[in-house]
Amino acid sequence: MSMIAAALIPAAPVLIPGLSGTLLPAAVPRAAAHRVLQDLISAGPDVIIVIAEGPLTREFDETSAWGLHRLGGLRGEEPAPGSAADLLPIPLAVGAAVLRDAGWRGSIDLRQIDRDAPVSEALALGRQLAGSPQRLGLVLLGNASACSTPKAPGSFHPRSTEFNLDFVTSIRTADVAAIREWSSADFAEQMSDGRLPLQVLIGAWGEGDFSTEIHFADESYGVFYVCASLTPRASAEVSAGRGE
């Protein structure tokens, strides 16, 4: 296994400088996202894989244009690489943009996983990624509930507080069994896109133990963001063949 570290951030366009306006309303979660991405970069990966949920499972070329113009704003200012006609899905484009903004200049591998995929598919993808001979970092894109306040995108869901607490607790305590059992129906109901990326991660780490450092866990504009650095425990690192 070669997955040396991971970072969890939301696929929130508001994290991209220039998209959130001059008052920088998301400065605190943006700083936290940068912090966890810089932790990941500091771990020294050869390649960073960015993974998000989407309508189907597929890979994207690193040279695909980000196409952030689709979100409005950034007219003529998009720092997009490449010229491929195939634009990145918005979550991956946001992830790539924030990762570059955090200072990563190396290779990026972009993966989308079908949002309806079962946990078995996510675990298998994680194992497959971990089979790489390279030292890999993983950026997990996902938020908890997007129904966390009355003004939230999905309005207020009465179970959102409990859902957010469960989400954060499972990650903080590395509760692999709980993450494995996350319900796709619950995540859909809460407009959360955080299930499969975390399940891919535990697949990559062989469902072994990991440690978590959470730098941000709060709602922003009704969406509950978690920014966390995740690393495998020593035993997992050994089995990963670190230093090969």
Partner 1 sequence: MTLRLGRGSFSDTDLLVMAIVNRTPDSFFDKGASWADDAAMERVHQVVAEGADIIDIGGVKAGPGEYVSPEEEARRVVPFVAAVRDAYPEIVISVDTWRHEVGRAACEAGADLMNDAWGGVDPLLAEVAAEFSAGIICTHTGGATPRTRPHRVAYDDLMLDIITRTTSLAECALAAGVPRESIVIDPGHDFGKNTWHSLEATRRTKELVDTGWPVLVSTSNKDFIGESLDRPVDQRLLGSLTSVAITAFEGARIFRVHAVAETREVLDMVASIAGTRSPASTTRGLA
Contact positions toward partner 1, by CB under 8 A? 11-13, 19, 21, 23, 67, 70-73, 87, 90-91, 146, 152-155, 191
- 81 vs 154 by CB, closer to partner 1: 154
- 154 vs 208 by CB, closer to partner 1: 154
- 2 vs 143 by CB, closer to partner 1: 143
Q: How far is the CB of 58 from partner 1 (least distance, A)?
A: 18
- 72 vs 243 by CB, closer to partner 1: 72
CA distances 13 to 47, 58, 90, 197, Å, are 23, 22, 8, 18
Find the DSSP H helices in 43-142: 90-101, 119-130
Q: How far is the CB of 22 from partner 1 (least distance, A)?
A: 9
Distance of CA 198 to the CA centre of its chain: 8
Helices 90-101 and 27-42, interaxial angle, to 10°? 70
Find the DSSP H helices in 12-74: 27-42
Q: How far is the CB of 170 from partner 1 (least distance, A)?
A: 23
Question: Cα(71)–Cα(132) distance, rounded to whole angstroms?
Answer: 34
With residues binned 3-state (H G I as helix, E B as strand, rest as coil), the percentages for the chain, rounded to 5, are 35, 25, 40
Q: How far is the CB of 68 from partner 1 (least distance, A)?
A: 9
